[in-house]
Amino acid sequence: MELESILLPGVEAKRPIVIAGPCSAETEEQVMSTAKQLSERGIKIFRAGIWKPRTKPGGFEGVGVEGLSWLKEVKKETGMYVSTEVATAKHVYESLKAGIDILWVGARTTANPFAVQEIADALKGVDIPVLVKNPVNPDLDLWIGALERINNSGLKRLGVIHRGFSSYDKKIYRNLPQWHIPIELHRRIPNLPIFCDPSHIGGKRELIAPLCQQAMDLNFDGLIVESHCNPDCAWSDASQQVTPDVLDYILNLLVIRKETQTTENLAALRRQIDECDNSLMEELAKRMRIAREIGTYKKEHDMPILQTSRYSEILEKRGSQGALCGLDAEFVMKIFEAIHEESVRQQMEIINK
Ligand code: PEP
Ligand code: MN
């Protein structure tokens, strides 16, 4: 994927790049008051939803085009860059006409290839940073597919926003972080900037600070946080918004660790890890060879492949052996489940030959 920097003039390339503002633009006063307070606290990029995708009809669905003129006013009054969510070609045209600086694609939209294609087509020939939120479901290829559609329209200033994934059971999070998914995205497309949206992951104010810190510890480039001049009275997502003052407090407490800290000690420890991984791999290969031999024996003696009692014995024994070695029994059992599954697959190949 051919990418270029999303940084706009005057925005420092220092982690975290912060985007902040209300979930929704509600009134001109609310937008201006929040924007001024954020700008006074050094925030350079403002966010506000103009069109709101809501789970159920009848809720507040955004103020629409009228709100764009308030964002224009924010730019004029504070000098901040402004960003909003687009879900249709019309949203794109209206936002571009109003001089919006950064667009983002919402989680529900990313999950819909037709909608993403429509946005990508509307953006052909336009040079504007676009941030793509993860789809609501934990599907990395769908997320990358959305990026590719927009990139294929010639947009190179792309970034992503990790906002967590829906689940039927709500645990402490509104949307489960499943950090391994953005981490894998970063592994596949290393120069793609990643923002974390702690507001939509957490769903509650108290979780914003720890989630911001976690994102920084995982080397995310930026944060997009919902901030409202009067959070309790917000027309959408009231429980997860913080005042500009609280946001400033949270940001000031963040510990930003240095990205590259490859000291000699760390390099030596990593060499040891590499050696361990090599031995693990050799042992695994040896184990699979033996499993295949067992497969041949079972075939010659007309025996079934899956012998449940042996399988349970392995899982239980390895679990408790692991615990004796100071490993988590459940973790060890998970590994042996995967190993056993692969052994069975290999033996099936032999039997069906
Ligand atoms: C938002 O950022 O206001 C929003 C609607 O988020 P998401 O698409 O992540 O649900
Ligand atoms: Mn919101």
pLDDT score, position 309 = 86
Given 3-state DSSP classes, what are the helix, strand and coil percentages for the chain, each rounded to the nearest 5? 50, 10, 35
- Enter the tokens of residue 135: 């789809």
Mean pLDDT over 170-193 rounds to: 93
Shortest-distance Cα residue to atom 10 of ligand 1: 107
Residue 271: band (very low, low, confident or very high) from pLDDT cuts 50, 70, 90: confident
132: phi then psi, degrees, rounded to nearest 5: -110, 115
> What digits encode the pLDDT tens for the residues 63-88?
999 999 999 999 999 999 999 999 99
132 token code pair: 């793509």
Query: Quick check: 260 pLDDT over 80?
Result: no
Per-domain residue ranges of the chain: 17-253, 264-351
For residue 193 the two structure tokens come to: 């900037």
Distance from residue 23's CA to the centre of ligand 2 (Å) = 4
pLDDT digits (tens, 9 = 90+) for 191-239: 999 999 999 999 999 999 999 999 999 999 999 999 999 999 999 999 9
Measured in whole angstroms, the distance separating CA 139 from the mean position of its chain's CA atoms is 11
Question: How far away, in angstroms, is 141 Cα from ligand 2 center?
Answer: 24
Q: Among 110, 52, 127, which Cα is nearest to 119's?
A: 110
pLDDT value of residue 16: 97
Pocket of ligand 1, beta carbon within 6 A: 23, 49, 53, 85, 106-107, 133, 163, 200
- The domain defined by 17-253 folds into TIM Barrel (3.20.20)
- Note the pLDDT tens digit of each residue in 168-178: 876 789 999 99
The ligand 1 atom nearest the CA atom of 23 = 3
Of 259, 3, 227, which Cα lies nearest the Cα of 131?
3
Q: Are 222 and 206 in contact (CB under 8 A)?
A: no
Pocket test for ligand 1, best of 83, 103, 200, 236 (most atoms within 8 A of CB): 200
Give the gyration radius of the chain's Cα atoms.
25
- Distance from the first to the final alpha carbon of the chain: 42
Fold match between domain 17-253 and domain 264-351: no
**Are 339 and 284 in contact, with CB atoms under 8 Å apart?**
yes
What are the angstrom distances between the C-alpha of 221 and each of 8, 195, 212, 301? 14, 6, 11, 59
Cα(133) to centroid(ligand 1), Å: 8
Report domain 264-351's class.
Answer: mainly alpha
The predicted structure's pLDDT at residue 261: 65
Mutation choice for ligand 1 from 133, 143, 224, CB with most ligand atoms inside 8 A: 133
At 40-59, the pLDDT tens digits run 999 999 999 999 998 888 88
pTM of the model: 0.79
Residues with Cβ within 8 Å of residue 251, at least 6 apart in sequence? 16, 18, 212, 223
Is the per-residue pLDDT at 349 higher than 80? yes
Model confidence at 343, in pLDDT bands (50, 70, 90)? very high
Nearest CA to ligand 1 atom 9: 107
Name residue 176's beta-bridge partners.
165
| Half-sphere CA count of 24, side-chain side, radius 13 A | 21
